[in-house]
Structure 1
Amino acid sequence: MEKRLIQISGFLISSLGWLFVLCTMAMDYWRITQLGGQGGSFIIKVAWYWSNLWKDCFTDSTAVTNCRDFPVLWSVTPFIQGVRGLLMCGLTLGFFGVVLCFIGMECTYIGGADRTKDKLLFAGAVFHFAGGVSDISGYCLYINRIARTSFAPSVGPGVLRYDLGPPIFLGLVGCFFILLGAVFYAVTVYRVICPERYSNSSMVYDYGGGTYMAPRSRGRTLYTGYYRPSRQYGSYYIDSGRSSSSKISKLSQTTPDKISERDAFV
């Protein structure tokens, strides 16, 4: 039950983070700045310049917005192309990660045996981790571009100093959720990464004349619950506290009675 709860929590967190990153692709105000309205002027005129991954826009004090869409792909600013490519790559990897993790979770009845489901879940965690790293790289590239202009000691005329917009912070939170969900998945399938030794997962049975070692299994074995010794020799239990001499004494207690009955009949 604990394993299922961790997997369900990881699925919800990683899926929510993937949706956050997807929403930021279509959101406005990736970067924003304002002009006017400062210095105690009695006539307040404010204008906002903002942009996202697809267009640059200008909004005046009357709430009229004029936008200029970015041109075709091969003529866009290189860092915008890089941010688009990293985010799209991360979203694609995250989509495959969501599918693999959904199939590999223990609470779903598809995917095959437990060993196969654990491998699928681990593969989904790897996809989520790679997608989260790709997404956070795209946001860091965009932030670095803005920071280089905002914190430059001297900025030429006509160059605006932009601030970070809400989509950047929402995307960073989404990346954190994706990486956290990948960690939750990896915790539940740690046996795939570090398998246990067979010597630690075996049971030893002592039958007096020798020992038999059998690996532990999750379910019922071939002989458990089906083999019952005959009642004419008494009942036997595989117990480490009892020695083989006690079993032999039980045989000696049952067999003389039958031999004496046969001699009396003869």
Structure 2
Amino acid sequence: MDPVVEALAGFMGFLSWIMVGFALPHRYWKESTMDGNIITISTVYENLWMSCATESTGVHTCRDFPSLIALSGYIQATRGLMIASIVLGTFGIVGTLIGMQCSKIGGENYVLKGRIAAIGGVFFILQGLCTMIAVSWYAANITQQFFDQFYAGIKYEIGQGLYIGWSSAVLALCGGSCLLCACISNSPGEKTPYPYHPPSRGQVRSTVATSQTPSNYGRNAYV
């Protein structure tokens, strides 16, 4: 496998894992601006764990969601998918570090190391899929409530945390796909070619014994 492609794919996977860890506790998954009186304008925003409000006077208030069971189903599913994404990304990083050619872990068996790197790429792809499903599902509920004319609650808009999650999912999918395709396409070439030694052919030396037939006849015999 090309070490440059391997390093680039590993870097994209590691960066996507960092972004997932940054997006999960991010406060601005959805936000809305509410007009109060002439002076007070409050901004309400939520994430997967709490709901916050900030007034123009500088007062900042946050409250955690009181009950896990009372939460909407999509919020619980999004939590699980994001946590699973972090776990899968951790396995992807470990597999990539072990399978890299510059790593001394695993010896010099490059065929085995290539397979381990490919497994790391699969974990990165699974991480990207979990993140993409979680973020897109959350955003779909925001847009559905926003365009619903009969929805009486606060209408939110897409926050910064969702964009970070989408970027992380794209990086994880690209990095995992590059790592997997590079390992699969170059796996036959990693086999150690054995030099061909033609069989030694013994040279058959036929020695013809030239025995001089003693002549029983002298010159006088032809007289």
The alignment partner of 1:107 has SS state of coil
Aligned to 1:81: 76
The alignment partner of 1:97 has SS state of helix
- Identify which of 81, 89, 95 aligns with 1:94: 89
The alignment partner of 2:24 has SS state of helix
Deviations 1:46-71 (A, max 9, x none): 11111111111121111212222112
Give me the TM-score of the superposition, normalised by structure 2.
Answer: 0.81
- Structure 1 segments unaligned to the other structure (5+ residues): 211-246, 252-266
Deviations 1:12-68 (A, max 9, x none): 11101111011011111110011228xxx9x35311111111111121111212222
The alignment partner of 1:75 has SS state of coil
Cα displacement (A) at 1:203: 6.6
Aligned to 2:111: 115
Aligned to 1:186: 180
Q: Is 1:144 aligned to 2:140, yes or no?
A: yes
Any conservation in 2 of the 1:36–1:44 contact (CA below 8 Å)?
no
Aligned to 1:17: 16
The alignment partner of 1:189 has SS state of helix
Please give the alpha-carbon distance, in whole angstroms, between the structure 2 residues aligned to 1:50 and 1:208: 82
Please give the alpha-carbon distance, in whole angstroms, between the structure 1 residues aligned to 2:185 and 2:23: 36
The alignment partner of 2:48 has SS state of coil
Please give the alpha-carbon distance, in whole angstroms, between the structure 2 residues aligned to 1:208 and 1:80: 74
Identity level (%): 27
Please give the alpha-carbon distance, in whole angstroms, between the structure 2 residues aligned to 1:166 and 1:46: 20
Q: Which amino acid aligns with 2:173?
A: L
The 5-angstrom pairing of residues 242-257 of structure 1 reads: none
Any conservation in 1 of the 2:88–2:123 contact (CA below 8 Å)?
yes
Please give the alpha-carbon distance, in whole angstroms, between the structure 2 residues aligned to 1:131 and 1:116: 23
- Identify which of 45, 54, 57 aligns with 1:50: 45
Q: Is 1:106 aligned to 2:105, yes or no?
A: no
Aligned to 1:130: 126
Please give the alpha-carbon distance, in whole angstroms, between the structure 2 residues aligned to 1:133 and 1:156: 30
Give me the TM-score of the superposition, normalised by structure 1.
Answer: 0.68
The alignment partner of 1:66 has SS state of strand
Q: How many residues align?
A: 202
Cα displacement (A) at 1:84: 0.2
**Alpha carbons of 1:111 and 1:69: their partners in 2 closer, same or farther (altered >3 Å)?**
same
Higher relative contact order (CA 8 A, sep 6+): 2
Structure 1 segments (4+ residues) deviating >4 Å: 201-210
Q: Is 1:34 aligned to 2:33, yes or no?
A: yes
Please give the alpha-carbon distance, in whole angstroms, between the structure 2 residues aligned to 1:105 and 1:71: 46
Please give the alpha-carbon distance, in whole angstroms, between the structure 2 residues aligned to 1:116 and 1:183: 19
Aligned to 2:61: 66
Deviations 1:212-231 (A, max 9, x none): xxxxxxxxxxxxxxxxxxxx
Cα displacement (A) at 1:3: 1.0
